[in-house]
Every structure is written in structure tokens, then in C-alpha cells.
Structure 1
Amino acid sequence: MPYLKIQTNLPLSKKAERAVLKNASQLIAELLGKPESFVMVALQADTPMLFAGSDDPLAFLELKSIGLPAQRTKDLSEALCQMIEGHLGVPCDRIYVKFIDVKRGMWGWKGDTF
């Protein structure tokens, strides 16, 4: 049920997109202690975006999950920023991360909810 959406203004090759998606999926599963079979990751590259009035490389990440622990958001932010910086070269001070804890009844799957 974890869902990570990554938006960046950088154009990426298909190979780079696959590498980011695969690494992000594994990282989210590991960080949240969830089976990777429940993790969904989306990547929107080459998105027109500005941060601090500049179109220098940037990224916006949104992580949604059931039971997202508020006390772990600092660690999650650090790990996600390091992953994006490592794969895309976007400096951590050009990355925002939004965390959303979703109630079980507000997350649907297979025609039901969790």
C-alpha cells in the first residue's frame, strides 16, 4: 500500500527511469518494513517546475502509506533525498518530500479496503 510519487524537471532516459523506479520500490519496502509486492512507485520526469524561482534540477516526492510513522519521517526524508541525489544528481536542498498517513478505510485494493 505504500505509494511514492517522484516528480522532477530533469529529462531521463528509459534506462534511468527504470533504475530510479526499481531502487525506489526496494528502498520504500525496506524502510517501511512492507512487502515490495504492495509498493507502487510513479515517476514523472521532464515536468516543468520551479523551486526558489529557479529551474535548476529539483524534485518533489510524495509518500503515502497506511500507518506511516510520524516519528520516522526525518529518517525517511534523509534516505529518499540521498536516493534521488545519488540517481539524479539533485541536491538535497532542491528536494521537497511530503508524507501522508492514510487510514485503512481510505485505501482501496481489489474492490475492497485495507
Structure 2
Amino acid sequence: MPHLKIDTNVPRGKIPAGIEKELCKVIADTLGKPLNYCCVTINPDQVMSFGGDDGPCGQAILMSIGQLGVAENKKHSKAIFEKVQAALGIPKTKMYIHFIDAKSADVGYDGTTFHDILG
């Protein structure tokens, strides 16, 4: 159920092959969720500016059912920023992560919702 979406101005050609799989592992580990439920989307080539500059930057959204909060988000932020900076060259000061704690009834999967799946 976790989904990490990153919009970035980094060109598609500079997105390392397999980074989406590596980021799936990062969010599975940091959230304590099964890897088979994790999804990562990277949207390269976006027309973006952060702070009035056109260097590498991004906007991210991490949606999860639970495991988000004041202390938890610091851990998630650290793990995601480290991987994104190393792989995509986006400085930690040139991206925001928005955390969305979704209700289980608001996330559909396998023809139902996680409200039914998780009980």
C-alpha cells in the first residue's frame, strides 16, 4: 500500500536503471511494510524550479496506511533523501516530501480495500 511518487526535473536519461526497485526496498524497510505492497513512481523531465534555480530538484509524496507520524517521518525522510541524493543527484535542500497517512478504507487493492484486507 505504500506509494512513493517523485516528480523531478532530472532527465530520464540520468535516472539510474532499477532505482525504483531500490526505493521500493527503502520504503518497505523504513515503514515495516511488505515489499510486495510497495510502489514507487518517478516522473522525470518535469519543468521545475526550486528556489528560483533550475538545478536538480523534486517533489515527493509518500502515502502509507499507518507508520507515519512526527518521529516516524524523520526516519522515512532520512532514508529517502539519502537514496534520492545519491542516485538522482537531488540535494536534500532541493526536494520536499509530503507524508499522507491514508485510511485503510481509502486505498483499493485486489478488487477491495485494505479495510477488508487488514480487517
Scaled by the length of structure 1, the TM-score of the pair is 0.92
Hey, what's the Cα distance between the residues in 2 that align with 1:20 and 1:28? 12
> Are the counterparts in 1 of residues 105 and 113 from structure 2 also a CA contact under 8 Å?
yes
1:20 is matched with: 19
Does 1:85 find its partner at 2:81? no
Please provide the CA RMSD for this pair: 1.4
Structure 1 portions without partners, runs of 5+:
none
Does 1:110 find its partner at 2:107? no
1:37 is matched with: 36
Secondary structure of 2:90's match?
Answer: coil
> Are the counterparts in 1 of residues 15 and 87 from structure 2 also a CA contact under 8 Å?
no
CA 1:80–1:15 in 2, change beyond 3 Å: closer, same or farther?
closer
- Measured after TM superposition, the shift of residue 22 of structure 1 is 1.1
Give identity over the alignment, percent. 37
Hey, what's the Cα distance between the residues in 2 that align with 1:103 and 1:112? 14
Aligned length: 113
> Are the counterparts in 2 of residues 105 and 113 from structure 1 also a CA contact under 8 Å?
yes
Hey, what's the Cα distance between the residues in 1 that align with 2:38 and 2:96? 20
2:8 is matched with: 8
